[in-house]
Amino acid sequence: MIQETSLNQHSSLYIYTDQNSYEPLARIDKRGNDPEKVMYFHTDLNGAPEELTDENGKILWECSFQLWGKRIHEIEHEPIKQNLRYQGQYLDRETGLHYNTFRYYDPDIGRFTQPDPIGLLGGLNLYQYAPNGLTWVDPWGLSAGCGSDSQKLAKPGQDLYVGTYSKSRAANIKSGLNPTHTPHHAVQNAVSPTTHGKGITINLRKDLHELTWTYRKPIVSGLSNREYLARDIRDLRKILSNAGYSREVINRQLSELIRQNKKLWKD
Share of the chain above pLDDT 90, in %: 56
Q: Are residues 14 and 123 in the same domain?
A: yes
How is the beta sheet containing 10-16 ordered, strand by strand? 3-5, 10-16, 24-31, 37-43, 49-53, 59-65, 71-76
Q: Is 184 left (phi over 0), alpha (psi -120 to 50) or beta?
A: beta
pLDDT digits (tens, 9 = 90+) for 23-48: 999 999 998 888 999 999 999 888 89
Cβ within 8 Å of residue 183, ≥6 positions away: 163, 165, 168, 169, 172, 201, 202, 203, 204
List of E strands, 121-166: 136-137, 145-146, 162-164
Which of 120, 146, 172 finishes a domain? Answer: 146
Q: Are residues 35 and 56 in the same domain?
A: yes
Residue 169: which domain range? 153-266
The whole-number pLDDT of residue 191 equals 61
The whole-number pLDDT of residue 151 equals 54
Residue 150's φ and ψ, nearest 5 degrees, are -60, -25
Q: Are residues 127 and 244 in the same domain?
A: no
Share of the chain above pLDDT 70, in %: 94
Q: Are residues 129 and 25 in the same domain?
A: yes
Rounded to whole angstroms, the Cα distance separating 236 from 238 reads: 5
Q: How confident is the model at residue 133 (pLDDT cuts 50, 70, 90)?
A: confident
The whole-number pLDDT of residue 147 equals 61
Which of 101, 117, 146 finishes a domain? Answer: 146
Q: Are residues 113 and 243 in the same domain?
A: no
Residue 148 has pLDDT above 60, yes or no: no
The whole-number pLDDT of residue 114 equals 95
Residue 9 has pLDDT above 90, yes or no: no
Contact 98, 83 (CB under 8 A): no
Which of 146, 177, 209 finishes a domain? Answer: 146
Q: How many structural domains does the chain have?
A: 2
Pairing of strands 162-164, 181-185: unpaired
Pairing of strands 10-16, 24-31: antiparallel
Pairing of strands 59-65, 49-53: antiparallel
Q: Are residues 119 and 183 in the same domain?
A: no
Rounded to whole angstroms, the Cα distance separating 103 from 201 reads: 25
